[in-house]
Structure 1
Amino acid sequence: MKPDSFEDAYARIQAATRTRTQTEIANLLGIKQSSISDAKKKNTIPDGWLVSLYRSMGLEPDWVLYGQEPVSRREGFCLGAAVRESLGDYAGATVKATVYAMSRSDPQTGAWRREGIESIPIFDQLNRPHLLVVKMDGTGMEPVIRRGAYVGIDCDDTRFRSGEVYALEIPGEGLVIKRIVRDMEAKRLTLLSDNPAHQAQNFPLENPEITPVGKVVWIIQEI
């Protein structure tokens, strides 16, 4: 089986280790930052990284390389999320962003309908050409994304990468936010909730009949 691209595997490492920068990854793995650039050019995750991640966090190499569960066999391990943004990291001008409801749907087709419910100021650095901001209306992604959180979605990024969080439309359910796992061996796409009280949903890898809306890139919520 051919491993996923370096970008996909690297994104999973970031999500699991809750790191955001190459410097943080390099310090975690005990390598030079330039080694990350070298690995990216070769489009491969070095074996040494896999060993370090397994020893330090119990991350399964097959999950890092292919997105195949389990993420870790270590008891009590909880997959982190590289979607938290600290407002302290940003400064400068703000822009107004329309916030849309997740629960609105067309009465005839059942498809999700964009209906603005309010507007909020966001720092310009958080803005994107095709940014969608929604207000989380469920508890499925708690504690990472709480009910009532403002969620920023990059609608230009719709290519599913394992371990990342996406907004998507599901027939009969409307707009939902889930963590995506691609299981190449079982040929299925698994939608996970971070809240263990919610069951996973499985769809065929080919023609899953769900529509990606975009990747979750930031959240604003009370601690």
Structure 2
Amino acid sequence: MKPDTFEDAYARIQTATRARTQTEIATILGIKQSSISDAKKKNTIPDGWLVTLYRTFALEPDWILYGQMPPSRREGATLPSGVRESAGGYASPPSRVTVYTMACTDPEHGNWTREAQETIPLLESLNRPNLVVVKMDNCSMEPVIRRSAYVGLDCDDIRLRSGEIYALDVPGEGLVIKRVIRDLEKQRLAMLAENPAHQSLYLPLDNPGVATVGKAVWVIQEL
């Protein structure tokens, strides 16, 4: 199903939040006002907006994007007059997934351990059988992946391919997300940072202590 136009979805957001100006919408979403203009040019509602609106106002992403009723399925949610409908739902609500921290390590071996930080609603289109979601805790991959972004890792995809972004368990470091290059000439694994202020990591190709956790397949973040 093709989403409605940006203008239609934006109008529903304004109605539900009672926001009248772009400045008010930007404040609600925690974004820059220019991000709204950028989204309008692309004719799309960013996933980060959907997450914020669901968590703050209990608004269903399918209602925002497609106008499918009901606007909210959360018990006790209060919406402005003219928004709430009693019609049955036409689509399943987003499932909630656990978000893990990146820095938690086993004190004995130094390996990354999954420590839950929070849960977020996730559209079914972003889910997959062996998905792990982590929250980026540094700015080494900015602007591609910003600090505090939600990163989806496909843990079934662990065969390293040069140029792709992977999460690796580096003993003593925790979970490290970097762009990976297999340097066969020097027999090393280059883990490249996107942010020039951060150093890249170089490890031997046959380093048995480093384990690939999964490939980064999507990012939810503010523009």
Q: How high is the TM-score relative to the length of structure 2? A: 0.58
Shift of 1:208: 5.4
Give 1:164-203 correspondences, 5 Å limit. Answer: 164-203=164-203
C-alpha contact 1:168 1:175 (8 A) present in aligned 2: yes
The aligned counterpart of 1:130 is 130
Give 1:112-151 correspondences, 5 Å limit. Answer: 112-151=112-151
C-alpha contact 1:189 1:208 (8 A) present in aligned 2: no
Amino acid at match of 2:133: V
CA distance in structure 2 between the aligned counterparts of 1:86 and 1:169, rounded to whole angstroms: 30
Shift of 1:213: 0.1
CA distance in structure 1 between the aligned counterparts of 2:218 and 2:192, rounded to whole angstroms: 18
Amino acid at match of 2:147: R
- Give SS of 1:134's match: strand
Shift of 1:206: 2.5
CA-to-aligned-CA distance 1:79-120 (integer Å, 9 cap, x gap): xxxxxx9539x9554111100111111222221111111100
Which ranges of 4 or more aligned residues in structure 1 deviate by more than 2 Å?
Answer: 85-88, 90-93, 206-209
Q: Indicate yes or no: 2:111 matched with 1:107.
A: no
Amino acid at match of 2:154: D
Structure 1 gap ranges (5+):
1-84
Shift of 1:214: 0.2
CA distance in structure 1 between the aligned counterparts of 2:205 and 2:107, rounded to whole angstroms: 29
Percent pairwise identity: 57
- Give SS of 1:114's match: coil
C-alpha contact 2:109 2:171 (8 A) present in aligned 1: no
Q: Indicate yes or no: 2:211 matched with 1:211.
A: yes
Structure 2 gap ranges (5+):
1-44, 50-60, 63-90
CA-to-aligned-CA distance 1:171-197 (integer Å, 9 cap, x gap): 110111010001122221100010111
CA distance in structure 1 between the aligned counterparts of 2:131 and 2:46, rounded to whole angstroms: 18
CA distance in structure 2 between the aligned counterparts of 1:220 and 1:161, rounded to whole angstroms: 23
Check 1:96–1:173 CA distance in 2 against 1; reply closer, same or farther (3 A cut).
same
Check 1:139–1:99 CA distance in 2 against 1; reply closer, same or farther (3 A cut).
same
- Give SS of 2:166's match: strand
CA distance in structure 2 between the aligned counterparts of 1:175 and 1:197, rounded to whole angstroms: 19
Structure exhibiting the larger radius of gyration computed from Cα positions: 2
C-alpha contact 2:135 2:150 (8 A) present in aligned 1: yes
Amino acid at match of 2:168: L
Which structure carries more relative contact order (alpha carbon 8 Å, separation 6+)? 1
Shift of 1:215: 0.1
CA distance in structure 2 between the aligned counterparts of 1:184 and 1:110, rounded to whole angstroms: 27
Count of matched residue positions in the alignment of Structure 1 and Structure 2: 138
Q: How high is the TM-score relative to the length of structure 1? A: 0.58
Give 1:76-115 correspondences, 5 Å limit. Answer: 87=47, 93=92, 94-115=94-115
CA RMSD after TM alignment: 2.0
